[in-house]
Structure 1
Amino acid sequence: MPSSVPSFAELLGQTEQSAVHLELRDFYAPTERFEAWRRGERIDWEDRESWWHPYDQLIADTVARGVAIRRTRVVSEPVSEYIRWEHYVTHANVTAGEQVRWLPRRLTTNIPLPGNDFWLFDTTLLRVHHFSGDGVVVEDEITADAETVKLCFTAFEVVWKRAIPHHLYEI
């Protein structure tokens, strides 16, 4: 059954001012890149062609047209092996133009947080990610429900203000 949810690229293409992403999980379904990292393989950051992906280009193009892209990851500490890898590969996100911050989960107790990861486009349209227990995306949901958008926007902004910029967050 085809998805009725627009692709991420379509949503980002329609975005005019901002896109924010809140990640709340300590583990997502492993990828080949993660498995390679686990085997000790490292990226040659000087050889951009070897690691630059279409996602990176999409972000770079979007930022170039004036859209601010911010991502915050709420993480348990000590961090999981997966989060160690994410921290390592975040160099690509930052190079593409994303602003990335990290917030230790212990600092979120008094923040009303949604139960799912999400992207919020221009503070009006929400793409919610639903995952299985082992980190596989089960489905994405789109909503413009004002109360849900407000909760997610507010949560993101509070987390963002408390979070540590990527270049300062040590694991």
Structure 2
Amino acid sequence: MTHLELRDTYGTSHPDFQDWADGVPIAGIAGRGRLDAWNDLTRFHVARGVVFRRARVISVPPSDYIRFEHAITPWSNLAGGEQVRWLERPKARDIPVSPCDFWQFDDHLVCWVYQSGHGEKAGYDLSEDAAEAKLCSAAFEAVWERATDHQEFALPA
């Protein structure tokens, strides 16, 4: 399963982001249990052999939301068994990608994810179009190949 994130802002109205912006430490935010359901879900599927790969293409300098996301990734993604990589947007400039974030479940099923201009969830579409699946797979693999693993990635200034 792959997930490509292309935005610099997601859900800034979410209480976790708001608390972080107000100075609450990441460990305190992570300890509240809001991440448990996702981590339990990914752990379950990873245990049965599903590989979760998430690639994030980010602007330089990164937005405050990306700084938050980078800080919480060990608790929100890695703890459930996801693999996460980061790629600065200038290093992705020649990769043909859709302008939409997506989840690709297999070689046939893509979930296009839409957000508002402020990064709030705005909807999604499921597609089994072979050309869209091929585009998503090629784009994700190209980003993944260039991206840096979370454990080794330091946010640029």
Write out per-residue CA displacement over residues 115-154 of structure 1, whole angstroms, 9 at most, x where no aligned residue: 1000000222000011211112211100010001100110
Q: After the TM superposition, list the runs of 4 or more consecutive aligned residues in structure 1 that deviate by more than 2 angstroms.
A: 47-52
What secondary structure does 2:90 align onto? Answer: helix
1:53 and 2:36 aligned: yes
**Kept in 2: contact 1:43–1:51 (CA 8 A):** no
Matched residue SS, 1:44? helix
Distance 1:61 1:154, change over 3 A: same
> Residue in 1 aligned with 2:103?
119
Corresponding residue SS for 1:124: coil
1:109 and 2:93 correspond: yes
CA deviation string 1:74-127 (max 9, x = no partner): 000111000000001100211110000000000111110111000000222000
Shift of 1:43: 3.3
1:9 corresponds to which residue? none
Separation (CA, whole Å) in 1 of partners of 2:115 and 2:37 = 23
How many corresponding residue pairs?
A: 152
TM-score, structure 1 as length reference: 0.84
Which whole-Å CA distance do the structure 1 matches of 2:143 and 2:74 have between them?
A: 21
Q: Alignment partner of 1:73: what SS?
A: strand
Correspondence for 1:148 among 104, 122, 132: 132
Shift of 1:52: 4.2
- Distance across 1 between alignment mates of 2:61 and 2:86: 13
* Aligned residue number for residue 27 of structure 1: 9
Given candidates 73, 81, 103, the residue that maps to 1:97 is 81
CA RMSD of aligned residues (A): 1.5
Superposed displacement of residue 50, structure 1: 4.3
Q: Are residue 42 (structure 1) and residue 25 (structure 2) matched? A: yes
User: Distance between the aligned counterparts of 2:148 and 2:18, measured in 1?
Assistant: 27
| C-alpha spacing 1:54/1:155, structure 2 compared with 1 (3 Å) | same
Q: TM-score with structure 2 length normalisation?
A: 0.92
Distance 2:51 2:114 in 1: 24
Structure 2 unaligned runs (5+)?
Answer: none
Aligned residue for 1:21, secondary structure, equals strand
